[in-house]
């Protein structure tokens, strides 16, 4: 799945592991990252610098992932720019915070993972209007991206519609969710 060895840098924008590790170190200086790490420490989950690692990912489609008990891994063969690494670190830190704070969070439960994806997407700024415009989504309404939810037990990806995510959120939290 992931290896700690270096990949050849420079070809087709692929970065070497040490280059991406340097980008991660730069990301750790961002105010949002410092804030999230501080909140995790206050919740009893100290996050040291070695919690974040650049690796070569084999067979993974994502650019980064959080592995409970192991840390955050950024796929050096899938990232190109510092801004990507910044966004990935913030997004995955929100998953780590959820893992730290939630009492009965089960990552193999699709509903739990969907809830964390919704939070990470919105809180990390991944759903920000300008970011969506840069992705080529030019609609003014409904600009939130549809997260790809992985069912870990089956190793498949499912894309849920926005209305399904709202229904799932209501079911999980018993809350009235206002339309976006």
Going by DSSP bridges, is the β-strand pair 156-159/148-151 parallel, antiparallel, or unpaired? antiparallel
Same domain, 1 and 44: yes
Give dist(CA 56, CA 64) in Å, integer: 10
Residue 36: is its pLDDT beyond 70? yes
Backbone angles phi, psi at 114, to 5 degrees: -65, -40
Q: Is the pTM of this model over 0.95?
A: no
Same domain, 86 and 148: no
Mean of pLDDT over the chain: 74
pLDDT tens for 80-117 read 889 889 999 999 999 999 888 887 888 888 887 888 88
Same domain, 46 and 134: no
Same domain, 18 and 95: yes
Give dist(CA 135, CA 11) in Å, integer: 23
Same domain, 58 and 112: no
Boundary-marking domain end, from 70, 101, 132: 101
pLDDT tens for 144-167 read 555 554 444 344 444 455 555 555
Same domain, 83 and 142: no
CA distances (Å), origin 168, targets 13, 27, 115, 159: 38, 32, 8, 13
Whether 144 is catalytic is: no
Confidence class for position 21, pLDDT limits 50, 70, 90: very high
Same domain, 80 and 132: no
* Residues of the chain above pLDDT 70, percent: 61
Boundary-marking domain end, from 69, 101, 133: 101
Please, which residues have CB within 8 angstroms of residue 28's CB and are 6 or more apart in sequence?
A: 34, 37, 49, 52, 89
Q: For the chain, what is the total number of helices (H) and then of strands (E)? A: 6, 6
Same domain, 97 and 114: no
What is the count of structural domains for the chain? Answer: 2
Catalytic hit among 19, 42, 84, 92:
92
Domain region containing 126: 106-180
Same domain, 97 and 110: no
Same domain, 81 and 162: no
DSSP H or E run through 72: strand 71-75
b or e along 63-102 (b: 16 or more beta carbons within 10 Å of the residue's beta carbon)? bbbbbeeebbbbbbbbbeeeebbbbbbbbbbbbbbbbbee
Same domain, 10 and 95: yes
Residue 29: is its pLDDT beyond 70? yes
């Amino acid at each position: 799945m992931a290896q700690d060895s270096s990949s050849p840098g420079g070809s087709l924008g692929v970065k070497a592991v040490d280059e991406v590790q340097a980008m991660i170190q730069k990301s750790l200086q961002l105010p949002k990252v410092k804030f999230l790490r501080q909140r995790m420490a206050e919740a009893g989950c100290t996050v040291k610098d070695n919690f974040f690692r650049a690796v070569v990912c084999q067979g993974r489609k994502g650019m980064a992932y959080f592995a409970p008990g192991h840390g955050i891994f950024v796929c050096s063969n899938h990232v190109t720019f510092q801004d990507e690494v910044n966004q990935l670190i913030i997004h995955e830190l929100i998953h780590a915070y959820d893992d730290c704070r939630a009492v009965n969070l089960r990552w193999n439960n699709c509903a739990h993972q969907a809830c964390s994806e919704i939070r990470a997407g919105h809180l990390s700024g991944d759903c920000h209007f300008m970011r969506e415009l840069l992705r080529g989504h030019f609609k003014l309404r409904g600009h939130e991206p549809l997260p790809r939810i992985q069912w870990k037990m089956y190793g498949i990806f499912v894309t849920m519609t926005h209305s399904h995510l709202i229904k799932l959120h209501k079911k999980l939290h018993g809350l009235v969710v206002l339309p976006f």
